[in-house]
Structure 1
């Protein structure tokens, strides 16, 4: 499907490929030994399809070597190979801290208690050129209580001048810019247990995708790296969180997923909560069989337009 896209047509690829874990998962993760070569084939195509101002953000988790409490280096070799062999630039490395992540691996953390809980994923932000589209002012975070006090009366906290580090600080430091610049450590809990997707899966008695990332994760990068109307692509869509967020943010989007049952269940993200259960099952079964479904038909039934779910 990537091969069919026009070159230089995509603004952002936001994706989370199956990780190279030791234990095989239902979604078909590769062995560590072959993982990088397999992923390189996708990355070469992504490079060709991105616009010169485009980016690819890839969520990749770490793993341990088989049978030993020593870490694999596959997720660290990934950006080196992408940059050295394909021509990507590493615009910035981000880290997703999930405080709700369960302790793993069980053998080293829970049983033998010789390792700490692994709660951070790498988020590699690759760009096609040194100057990708980006605007951090679109993803500002709330000021801390201390910063709010500082802006009220800067003189109580610091004096303008040059610090020992050589950095100069002026009174303009306390200007209210609508929020603080975020760091490259994103703290987002992955605790979704309700919503239309989960409810729909329960209704049709199908398994939920076991490795969904939270909506706040693609939301950050879609807002940061694209504008309304830009094209966002997820090449390992799974339950299609990326597509749901892109739709809510007014972006055009494409999602690729090889398992029809995952594609079928992802439709629940775009159907209204008021949809009749029989119609939900009908949509799921049609997509699972390979037939197309126009989700706008389901919004028409409730006198709404497709896209109003986010409102």
Structure 2
């Protein structure tokens, strides 16, 4: 019988700001242990968008499968994070589809249209708010992360909703996790104007970015995370890089960034936005 040895690909060195084009888990598995100080990210929301990629996250048939897939990604991210590092996650919620398997477009947001949608999760009813942010937060907590804060991202310019039987939702959650019980947190860098400790409700307007995909982070949401959880010269990682807002804010505050993005169009957009050279983009095959 002929046997062969499969060699593990060599680790990917971090020698400065870089964008990796590839699957988040695949790239994370090749990053060095304890190599980044801070993770800031917003994973794809479940059942919200079809990115037309077979490796995409967000269209798993069931909600537990979606949560478990994210757990696998953040478990690997935990290895990459320094022992005194911090993870910030923004994740949106949603309502059950009532078992509708499609969603119509609207004039303001054609990308809203989907030809496929997951079924209503087991145990939930039509019109139920699914509680996805807290389901993920508790799953990460059970997996070993320290859940340190739930920040309410209040959107003063939030989009109106055509609903008559509930309040319009104009907020999302931003969770703060640490890898260990003791970790780096510079509270003085994010004190409020009156000298108070930073509060847990952040009023930040959404901001459109021409050419960006539809889930662009507002820089003002990222700035407190960067300032409080990293030092100048540290590496800041976003495993779902999108249009590169985390990299942009990290760059402006003297940090190096590591972006991982599956979709080539978003990689190109982020590179242009960050004034990247082609040599700073590394394509990692699955």
Q: Normalization by structure 1: what TM-score?
A: 0.67
Larger Rg: 1
Deviations 1:189-234 (A, max 9, x none): 01245xxxx3xx4xxxxxx211101001111100011110111000
1:42 and 2:100 correspond: no
Higher helix share: 1
1:66 and 2:66 correspond: no
CA distance in 2, matches of 1:293, 1:47: 27
- Any residues of structure 2 matched to 1:173-252 within 5 Å, and which? 179-193=195-209, 198=210, 201=211, 208-252=212-256
Equivalent residue number for residue 90 of structure 1: 147
1:269 and 2:269 correspond: no
Q: Is the 8 A contact 1:18 1:30 kept in 2?
A: no
Quote the offset at 1:294 in angstroms. Answer: 5.8
1:123 and 2:174 correspond: yes
Q: Is the 8 A contact 2:92 2:132 kept in 1?
A: no
Equivalent of 1:30 in 51, 55, 59? 59
Quote the offset at 1:79 in angstroms. Answer: 1.5
Q: Is the 8 A contact 2:34 2:83 kept in 1?
A: yes
- What SS does the aligned partner of 2:29 have? helix
CA distance in 1, matches of 2:89, 2:178: 11
Quote the offset at 1:117 in angstroms. Answer: 1.1
Q: Is the 8 A contact 1:14 1:56 kept in 2?
A: yes
CA distance in 1, matches of 2:130, 2:139: 16
Q: How many residues align?
A: 222
Equivalent residue number for residue 284 of structure 2: none
Deviations 1:47-98 (A, max 9, x none): 11111100110001111122232210332121211121x2110011111111
Q: Is the 8 A contact 1:243 1:253 kept in 2?
A: yes
CA distance in 1, matches of 2:92, 2:238: 17
Deviations 1:159-208 (A, max 9, x none): xxxxxxxxxxxxxxxxxxxx332211111001245xxxx3xx4xxxxxx2
Q: Is the 8 A contact 2:238 2:246 kept in 1?
A: yes
CA distance in 1, matches of 2:81, 2:280: 28
Quote the offset at 1:124 in angstroms. Answer: 1.1
Distance 1:229 1:87, change over 3 A: same
Q: Normalization by structure 2: what TM-score?
A: 0.73
CA distance in 2, matches of 1:16, 1:124: 10
CA distance in 1, matches of 2:51, 2:83: 36
Equivalent residue number for residue 165 of structure 2: 114
Q: Which blocks of at least 5 consecutive residues in structure 1 are unaligned?
A: 144-178, 202-207, 272-282, 296-311
Q: Larger RCO: Structure 1 or Structure 2 (Cα < 8 Å, ≥ 6 residues apart)?
A: 2
Quote the offset at 1:24 in angstroms. Answer: 3.1
CA distance in 1, matches of 2:37, 2:279: 26
